[in-house]
Amino acid sequence: MGEIDSYRARVAALSAKLDAPNAAGSRDAIRAELIAIGKGLEHDLAELTSLREDAKGLVERWKALQGTASPAFSADRPVVVDHIGASTFIEKGWSRISLGDYVGAEESLTKALQLVPNDPQAESLLGWAQMLQEKYDDALMQFQKVLMREPANALARINVGYICLKKRIFGEAIEHLSRAIRLDSDRKATLYAHFYLGLVYLERDMFEDAQTFFQKTLALGPNLIEAYYELGRAFWFNGQKDEALQTWRDGFTANKFNPWGKKCAEVLKTVEEGGEP
């Protein structure tokens, strides 16, 4: 905040100079200060933007620690007509989710919905914020509201499928995820629908079905390294140990620095030493 306060003080001082009776005589000095402030702000904004991207990368690494990855947040930056200040809270909610501040996002989006009840963007974003806090019942209610108005919203549908998976309501999970695949209206939604169906069948010990969906996941998105990890487990628990070992090797080779690539290496080491995944 110190740097921001410094800029505020410099802007206030310039404003005072411009209001002064002798402002015309100080034109050149004021212009030089305006240019200096502008350049400083441009530099600091570029640094902050870069730092923000680094922070988002840390958020993704943190998500990998929770076990099964939640759907990757992919909502576009909201474009809303301001309704008595609601757009500020919606924009802030989107930004906070992007940075992993799900509690702060929920607070902002709740305020937005107090100002504009039933706003679909605010409801969808609030669902994301609640789901990523594992407040599944609250999130489910928000996404169901979205689907009532937009049945073809594939992202909302895979989020409902994911929540049903986490709540172990497997029949409903299969229904929503399969419908998202049939819609095929959003590439990322289709990718995650296959992945979560693989997890549903893995949870139900239907290992060959799980393998099919994980393999389709990797065909659609080879960079979703967690699918290698889970496909290896599906092979292992189906007694196909050679295939499991090769899959984990492939996952580590695909991205040695990804948290799930590292998990592939860890489980590979464990089983090679006689342990179980």
Report if residue 257 sits inside a domain: yes
Q: What are phi and psi of 121, to 5 degrees?
A: -65, -45
Q: Which two tokens stand for residue 139?
A: 């999130």
Number of domains in the chain: 1
What pLDDT is attached to residue 69? 57
Task: Assign 213 to helix, strand or coil.
Answer: helix
Residue 267 structural domain: 205-277
The one-letter amino acid at 122? A
Helix 27-63, helix 2-19: angle, nearest 10:
160
CA distances from residue 275 to 137, 189, 239, 261 in whole angstroms, order as listed: 37, 35, 15, 19
In a domain, 215, yes or no: yes
Q: What pLDDT is stored for residue 221 in this prediction?
A: 94
Q: Residue 210 falls within a domain, yes or no? A: yes
Chain-centroid distance, C-alpha 176? 20
Q: The domain spanning residue 270 has which CATH number?
A: 1.25.40
- Asked whether residue 270 is domain-assigned, the answer is yes
| pLDDT tens for the chain, residues 1 to 277 | 567 778 888 888 878 888 888 877 777 787 788 788 887 877 777 777 777 666 656 655 555 554 555 566 555 555 555 555 677 888 888 888 888 889 999 999 999 999 888 888 889 999 999 999 999 999 999 999 999 999 999 989 999 999 999 999 999 999 999 999 999 988 989 999 999 999 999 999 999 999 999 999 999 999 999 999 999 999 999 999 999 999 999 999 999 999 999 999 999 999 999 988 8
Q: What angle do CA 105, 109, 112 make, to 5 degrees?
A: 150
Residue 234 lies in a domain: yes
Whether residue 59 lies inside any domain: the answer is no
Tally helices (H) and strands (E) across the chain. 13, 0
Identify whether the C-beta of residue 111 lies closer than 8 Å to the C-beta of residue 85. Answer: no
Assigned domain for 231 exists: yes
- Within-domain flag for 155: no
Q: Are 146 and 156 in contact (CB under 8 A)?
A: yes
Q: How many residues does the chain have?
A: 277
